[in-house]
């Protein structure tokens, strides 16, 4: 199948690479010339385990190519995936200008039937807008070509994107066209052989499915963070409570890990956008607003604990910080808790010595020569000369550190853990004072 992908960001690149890998003939199009040039030379702009070899292999095999030429892109694919960004605008709603620009491009360049597939996370009703944009460009050209619009939201997680794409839980396809439905079935056949994972529905329901999935997951996290905050105040241990409730299969163990708040490019943006959509149809989504509020507050919990420990005087304190990315296995720092923490620490006059296995370049890009920030080459280096240690991301290499040397090197033997990585007794044995999230007995 000939396929075109608009947008070589996270979703677009993974989709293009994986579809090429199963034998489709894929062109990825981006307006960013620099990015396309880099991709052609095998340079992958994002850190995603497993992506680079797939891109290289399929480029060499001639199944994956890159272009900045919109005409070439539209001519190529029977299926045209829109995978461009939908950043939040000032009021929190998703900005659709890039999506509709692609739709117009398709309408301007198509000369035969096309299936236009929305893969970006777009508000309910965008399918109609995409359809109208393609139609109005065709009208301008005096053409009556047929096309179908499909909503096919993406559910991949950063850091596990390739396996999520290759082994999906579900492939949601929203369309009212039988023809588009069969073409999408054919496109996804390689990922759908053993049992049918395709769920067909109308376009609006597919669009809402994406937001509902992310909002439900964010709700689970904010709910657990709220119970964690209660645990601290009640002298209970959230880790015991987590095991206790997760054992009920109706609740499940997934996504009930308390922490210093969720981040990333999806949950914060999508929860806000859905709440905003609700307001636009005169519905006050109380639960969604609360999920967001709890998360904003949770991002301050580590700072509050540190500040409390130093009795409100952080002037000149040196804080070692392990973990900057919003979660492990990515260099992405969008909406990361580490940022809220660092910014609060700097405001309070503290210095930060930070280390992350992947996000150092990103930190440098965002904070540059920020006063009060030192970037450390290793986690051990971050500890040198520091007063206390704080952990914001649960990278594997932080799981079993040398506690004795942490205790020896810090001027105050204290660990603030935003991801509940350790057993309190273990740190206690090494003479470390341990503040985690929701572990009431030692708060
Ligand atoms: C999320 C969804 O999990 C994907 O299904 C979805 O496709 C994607 O958004 C998207 O819309 O594109 P992602 O943002 O990559 O994926 O990251 P997650 O693994 O979901 O983690 C999000 C945040 O929640 C992280 O900051 C993580 O630390 C936090 N989290 C996660 C918790 O605090 N507790 C948990 O139990 C799980």
| Residue that has been written with the tokens 């090429």 in this structure | 20
Distance 29 CA to ligand 1 centre (A): 27
Nearest protein Cα to ligand 1, atom 7 = 155
Decide whether any atom of ligand 1 lies within 6 Å of the 158 Cβ.
yes
Kindly give the distance from the C-alpha atom of residue 267 to the centroid of ligand 1, in angstroms, as a whole number.
7
Whether 84 lines ligand 1, by a CB cut-off of 6 Å, is: no
Q: What is the structure's pLDDT at 47?
A: 86
333-386 pLDDT, tens digit per residue, is: 999 999 999 999 999 999 999 999 999 999 999 999 899 999 999 999 999 999
261 labeled binding residue: no
Could you give the domains of the chain? Answer: 2-201 (3.40.50.720), 203-443 (3.40.50.720)
Q: Is the pTM of this model over 0.80?
A: yes
Determine the pLDDT at residue 120: 92
Q: Is 269 marked within a binding site? A: yes
Which ligand 1 atom is nearest residue 154's CA?
7
Q: Which numbered atom of ligand 1 lies nearest the CA of 265?
A: 14
What's the confidence (pLDDT) of residue 69? 98
Q: What is the pLDDT of residues 419-429, one digit of tens each?
A: 999 999 999 99
Q: Whose CA is nearest to atom 37 of ligand 1?
A: 255
Q: What pLDDT, on a 0 to 100 scale, did the predictor assign at position 92? A: 72
Cβ(199)–Cβ(173) below 8 Å: yes
181 known ligand binder: no
Q: How far apart are CA 355 and CA 298, in angstroms?
A: 22
Does residue 98 have a pLDDT over 60? yes
Q: Is 157 in the pocket of ligand 1 (CB under 6 A)?
A: yes
Q: Tell me: the pLDDT tens digits for 28-41?
A: 999 999 999 999 98
96 in contact with ligand 1, CB cutoff 6 A: no
Q: Whose CA is nearest to atom 13 of ligand 1?
A: 157
Given a cut of 60, whether residue 443 has pLDDT beyond it is no
Ligand 1 atom at minimum distance from 260 CA: 33
Does the pLDDT at position 42 exceed 90?
no
Is 158 marked as a binding-site residue? yes
Contact 263 CB / ligand 1 (< 6 Å): yes
> Looking at the predicted structure, is the pLDDT value of residue 417 above 90?
yes
The confidence band for 195, taking pLDDT boundaries of 50, 70 and 90, is confident
Which atom, in ligand 1's list, is nearest to the CA of 337?
Answer: 26
Q: Counting atoms of ligand 1 from 1, which one is nearest the CA of 153?
A: 7
Mean pLDDT on 387-414: 97
Residue 441 banded pLDDT, cuts 50, 70, 90: low
Confidence of residue 67 (pLDDT cuts 50, 70, 90): very high
- Is 85 annotated as ligand-binding? no
Residues serving a catalytic function are 266
Looking at residue 51, what is its pLDDT? 96
ipTM of the complex: 0.96
What's the whole-number average pLDDT of the chain?
96
- For the chain, the three-class secondary structure string (H helix, E strand, C coil) is CEEEEECCCHHHHHHHHHHHHCCCEEEEECCCHHHHHHHHCCCCCCCCCCHHHHHHHHHHCCCEEEECCHHHHHHHCCEEEECCCCCECCCCCECCHHHHHHHHHHHHHCCCCEEEEECCCCCCCHHHHHHHHHHHHHHHCCCCCCEEEEECCCCCCCCCHHHHHHCCCCEEEECCCHHHHHHHHHHHHHHCCCCCCEEEECHHHHHHHHHHHHHHHHHHHHHHHHHHHHHHHHCCEHHHHHHHHHCCCCCCCCCCCCCCCCCCCCHHHHHHHHHHHHHHCCCCCHHHHHHHHHHHHHCCHHHHHHHHHCCCCCCCCEEEEECCCCCCCCCCCCCCHHHHHHHHHHHCCCEEEEECCCCHHHHHHHHCCCCCEEECCCHHHHHCCCCEEEECCCCHHHCCCCHHHHHHHCCCCEEEECCCCCCHHHHHHCCCEEECCCEHHHC
Cα–ligand 1 centroid distance for 95 (angstroms): 21
Question: Does the pLDDT of residue 14 top 70, yes or no?
Answer: yes
- Cα 385 to ligand 1 centroid, rounded to whole Å: 34
Ligand 1 pocket check for 242: Cβ under 6 Å: no
CA of 157 to the centre of ligand 1 (A): 7
């Amino acid at each position: 199948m000939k396929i075109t992908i608009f947008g070589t960001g996270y979703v677009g690149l993974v989709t293009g690479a994986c579809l090429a890998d199963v034998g489709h003939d894929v062109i990825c199009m981006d307006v960013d010339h620099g990015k396309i040039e880099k991709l052609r030379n095998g340079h992958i702009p994002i850190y995603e385990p497993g992506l680079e070899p797939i891109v290289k292999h399929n480029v060499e095999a001639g199944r994956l190519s890159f272009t900045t030429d919109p005409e070439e892109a539209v001519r190529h694919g029977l299926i045209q995936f829109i995978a461009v960004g939908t950043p939040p605008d000032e009021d929190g709603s998703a900005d659709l200008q890039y999506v509709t620009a692609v739709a117009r491009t398709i309408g301007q360049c198509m000369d035969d039937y096309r299936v236009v597939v929305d893969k970006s996370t777009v508000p309910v009703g965008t399918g109609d807008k995409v359809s109208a944009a393609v139609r109005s460009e065709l009208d301008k050209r005096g053409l009556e070509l047929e096309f179908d619009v499909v909503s096919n939201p993406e559910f991949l997680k950063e850091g596990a994107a390739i396996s999520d794409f290759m082994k999906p839980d579900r492939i949601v396809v929203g369309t009212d066209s039988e023809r588009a439905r069969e073409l999408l079935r054919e496109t996804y056949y390689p990922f759908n052989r053993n049992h049918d994972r395709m769920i067909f529905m109308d376009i609006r329901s597919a669009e809402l499915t994406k937001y509902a999935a992310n909002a439900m997951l964010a709700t689970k996290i904010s709910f657990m963070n709220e119970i964690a905050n209660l645990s601290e105040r009640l002298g209970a241990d959230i880790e015991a409570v987590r095991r206790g409730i997760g054992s009920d299969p109706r609740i499940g163990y997934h996504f009930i890990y308390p922490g210093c708040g969720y981040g990333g490019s999806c949950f914060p943006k999508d929860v806000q956008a859905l709440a905003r959509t609700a307001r636009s149809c005169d519905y006050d989504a109380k639960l969604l607003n609360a999920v967001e509020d709890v998360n904003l507050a949770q991002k301050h919990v580590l700072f509050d604990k540190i500040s409390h420990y130093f009795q409100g005087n952080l002037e000149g304190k040196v804080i070692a910080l392990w973990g900057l990315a919003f979660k492990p296995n990515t260099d992405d720092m969008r909406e990361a808790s580490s940022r809220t923490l660092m910014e609060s620490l700097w405001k309070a006059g503290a210095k930060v010595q930070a280390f992350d296995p992947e996000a150092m370049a990103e930190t440098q890009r965002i904070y540059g020569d920020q006063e009060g920030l030192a970037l450390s080459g290793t986690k051990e280096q971050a500890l040198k000369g520091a007063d206390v240690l704080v952990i914001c991301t649960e990278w594997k290499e932080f799981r079993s550190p040398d506690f004795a040397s942490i205790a020896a090197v810090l001027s105050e033997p204290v660990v603030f853990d935003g991801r509940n990585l350790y057993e309190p007794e273990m740190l206690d044995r090494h003479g470390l004072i341990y503040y985690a999230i929701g572990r009431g007995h030692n708060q």
